[in-house]
Structure 1
Amino acid sequence: MKQITDTILMVRPVGFRMNEQTAVNNYFQTKIAGDNINEIATQEFDIFVEKLRAVGVNVVVVDDVPGDDTPDSIFPNNWVSFHENGQIALFPMFAENRRKERRLEYFARLEEAGLKITEIVDYTIAEEDDVFLEGTGSLILDRVNQKAYCAISPRADEDLLIEFCEDFEFTPVIFNAYQSVENKRLPIYHTNVMMCIAEEFAVICLDTIDDKKERKNVVKHLKMDDKEIISISEEQMHEFAGNMLQVQGLGKKYLVMSARAHRSLNKEQISRIEKHCEILSSEIQTIETCGGGSARCMMAEVFLPKA
């Protein structure tokens, strides 16, 4: 099993804006005035893709379809995950307008690129019961050690997480993670804003796990699997320093993050990351501000086997 891949699926936006349906429990979103938001977001997207391709990452870009009101389509990792055995998982989404993002025609592009799909495991019927599990936004997958770390939230249902783990043979590591919003501790909407697992290390905001037993359990699992734990503060998490993804470039590994996340890290954190791999960052300020997601959310890693 591999933890990282050199192939990424990304969706170029056509109607990007702040999504009012997700803002109800994504406290990272802020509205920006102006009628050229999508244009700026697309520029940020294209520069980011260029940077990934320049270091040898195989980025499969698909274009969103105009007119469908899919403001968050730039974040495909929430509705799909790709696995080494050829399986694809489709996930139930909290916001109704995000459900339109699931486009099976994108998979034809992956097959054209010489990849093999053996089965689609579809969990989307759970939406009928208002039960959600938003892909690798909710699930931080340690694919080598077959563990799925998940912070329970309105977008991550515990029973559905356990069902996914049984189907894909992962061990669930379940906890609650909170952020301070107007002096209240509220659930973090996606695990991947507070945690990232790379081959040899994990970047995590342990301060968000208020329950000491739960925090100890997460640390125990990471240590058991020989992950160096690089802690970030809640303030750094709000700069998207937890929203990172390690990828394989040409002969080198990279930890991919936004420029904002990169700026928030201190020298010690940077040097600890750079012991393992290089940092690749890109300016995606508009996407982060309106979308409430960052670099990791924009990349759906593809682990499908070659056909």
Structure 2
Amino acid sequence: MQQTTNTILMIRPINFRMNEQTAVNNYYQKVVDNLLPATVNKKAQDEFDAYVEKLKAHGVDVVVVSDTDDFDTPDSIFPNNWISFHENGTVALYPMFAVNRRHERREDILNILETNGFVIENIVDYTSAEDENVFLEGTGSILLDRENQIAYCALSARADESLFIEFCEDFEYTPVVFTANQTVNGKRKAIYHTNVMMCLAETFAVICLDAIDDKKERKQIVKHLQQTNKEVIAITEAQVNNFAGNMLQVKGENNQLYLVMSQAAYNSLTPNQIKQIEKHCPIISSSLDTIEACGGGSARCMMAEVFLPKA
């Protein structure tokens, strides 16, 4: 099993704005004052386009699909929450916390991938869990160590433990469950997505250990990471607030590995942390300020990794 892929699915926004339905437990979203919705959307599109260009310039195969006007889908730019693609040709569809995010799931996207030569053998659909108000938001909630078949999940309103265990049974992963918190107005509250505070690469992991309040859980996670030969690069809660946990390792030209992150994430890192990362692979960073402020998500959330086999 490969940990990284050269192919990324990205959805170009057409009605991007702050989603009031996700803001209830995504504390990274901010109201951007004095900007018209059309201006916010245009800025997000410009950031998106520049980001895609940067990835392509490094030899990353980016499949760009435009959002549609069919529904109000302000968060469509973050496809990794509703779908994941696996090497055995399986696609997983996930139950989403926000009602307006459920419209992001589009069958035509699977057709587009098949037209591009990817093979889909099987679809595992967890979306009926929405009827029970049970959620598991894709690779936002689940961090996959694909090589070692270990799945990490920080529990939250968007990551249900029993559904996560079911996913692990279906896909033959060993589950590692923990709780990650952040301080919001002086109170510790669950971080909404695991991939905001943790990133798994082939030979290292970037993680905010300070977010894991339970010492036993923290030790357990470090142990798993070390046993799978990953260098642990610790980041702070302040860096998490700048999306330094929301990174993804991808393959570029000639299978060169890169760690992708936003400019804000990069700017928040210390010279020593940058050196630690660059020991393993170069960094690609791109400015995503509007997307981060209004969407409360960053570079990793915008990329759905495609591991499907090619025909």
Please give the TM-score of this superposition, normalised by the length of structure 2: 0.98
2:224 corresponding residue in structure 1: 221
2:281 corresponding residue in structure 1: 277
Deviations 1:188-212 (A, max 9, x none): 0000000000000000000000000
Identical-residue share of aligned pairs (%): 66
1:289 corresponding residue in structure 2: 293
* Equivalent residues in 2 for 1:6-85, closer than 5 Å: 6-33=6-33, 34-35=35-36, 36-85=39-88
Structure 2 Cα separation of the partners of residues 275 and 174 of structure 1: 29
Secondary structure (helix, strand or coil) at the match of 2:253 reads coil
What stretches of structure 2 of length at least 5 have no aligned partner?
A: none
**Counterpart of 1:31 in structure 2: which amino acid?**
V
2:194 paired with 1:191? yes
Secondary structure (helix, strand or coil) at the match of 1:296 reads coil
2:152 paired with 1:149? yes
2:273 paired with 1:265? no
Following superposition, which runs of at least 4 residues in structure 1 exceed 4 angstroms of deviation?
Answer: none
**Counterpart of 1:15 in structure 2: which amino acid?**
N
Structure 2 Cα separation of the partners of residues 192 and 185 of structure 1: 18
Q: How many residues align?
A: 307
Structure 1 Cα separation of the partners of residues 55 and 155 of structure 2: 31
Deviations 1:11-36 (A, max 9, x none): 00011000000000000000113121
1:5 corresponding residue in structure 2: 5
Structure 2 Cα separation of the partners of residues 187 and 50 of structure 1: 34
1:298 corresponding residue in structure 2: 302
From 109, 112, 117, give the equivalent of 2:112: 109
Structure 2 Cα separation of the partners of residues 108 and 250 of structure 1: 26
Secondary structure (helix, strand or coil) at the match of 2:88 reads coil
Secondary structure (helix, strand or coil) at the match of 2:114 reads helix
State the Cα distance separating 1:101 from its structure 2 match. Answer: 0.2
State the Cα distance separating 1:113 from its structure 2 match. Answer: 1.2
State the Cα distance separating 1:306 from its structure 2 match. Answer: 0.8
2:97 corresponding residue in structure 1: 94
State the Cα distance separating 1:67 from its structure 2 match. Answer: 4.5
2:137 corresponding residue in structure 1: 134
1:182 corresponding residue in structure 2: 185
Deviations 1:206-226 (A, max 9, x none): 000000000011011001101
From 203, 211, 223, give the equivalent of 2:214: 211
1:159 corresponding residue in structure 2: 162
Secondary structure (helix, strand or coil) at the match of 1:237 reads helix
What stretches of structure 1 of length at least 5 have no aligned partner?
A: none
* Equivalent residues in 2 for 1:232-271, closer than 5 Å: 232-251=235-254, 252-271=256-275
Secondary structure (helix, strand or coil) at the match of 2:3 reads coil
Deviations 1:238-271 (A, max 9, x none): 0000000000000211000000000000011001
